[in-house]
Structure 1
């Protein structure tokens, strides 16, 4: 079976990103296309790496963190270390987001209180002005 290769524009279209983004990941060493003259030829492995990079980005991983998890990929040994590390990171990220949600709810409650007090003070000031 022949290996499948992708052009930079095919990957950009598929993942709805710019070719500049793909070249950036290449500069960072995350993708390693073959060269055929001036043309880049991305392998299925590069395509999978790009999928993982973008997935990592969506869940808040830095490029360095994504690179670390991608480098741990070892199908010969079942990826146990990679999966355990990723689960630990996901759990930490989840706890962090829950804390941020609680903080945001507390801030919204404070804003509601300030808004209410301001409205009451404004109403009182307008009544005082009307009486004068």
Structure 2
């Protein structure tokens, strides 16, 4: 295992911008070692970055990610963090399921509106291209 990773290596590995990594650093989520202007990321920083990106993919906000990460550092520790993640994932699932229902309803309404327009156009003898 390597001791350090450069910001360029991490941007390539995770397909993110240096600006993204700097943002997470500014937010206090990762804290690389600085040697002059160079940032050196430890294995633990790489792991944190991986967890941050996973949290973002799951739809967590930066503050939610920070809260979960903080739980890992203080009691109740990893078990508390895991319980919190399960709760948050359940909440996100419910939100996404509601959004899916809303989208399906909207699509149905659009289908009905399109069908009504096409029916009326046929009654008027109008074609779609006219």
TM-score by length of 2: 0.89
Q: CA deviation at 1:37?
A: 1.7
Alignment-derived partner of residue 9 in structure 1:
8
Aligned position for 2:121: 122
Structure 1 or 2, whichever has the larger Rg, is: 1
Moved more, 118-127 or 71-80: 71-80
* 1:130 corresponding residue in structure 2: none
* Unmatched segments (≥5 aa) in structure 2: none
Figure out how many residues of one structure are paired with residues of the other and give that number: 126
2:29/2:66 contact within 8 Å kept: yes
Report Cα offsets for 1:78-123 as digits up to 9, x if no partner. Answer: 6111111110010011011111111111111111111100001111
Question: What is the aligned partner in structure 2 of residue 46 from structure 1?
Answer: 45
For normalisation by structure 1, the TM-score amounts to 0.88
Which ranges of 4 or more aligned residues in structure 1 deviate by more than 3 Å?
74-78
2:91 match: 92
The aligned runs of 1:18-97 (5 Å cut-off) are 18-74=17-73, 79-97=78-96
For structure 1, the 5+ residue unaligned runs are 128-132
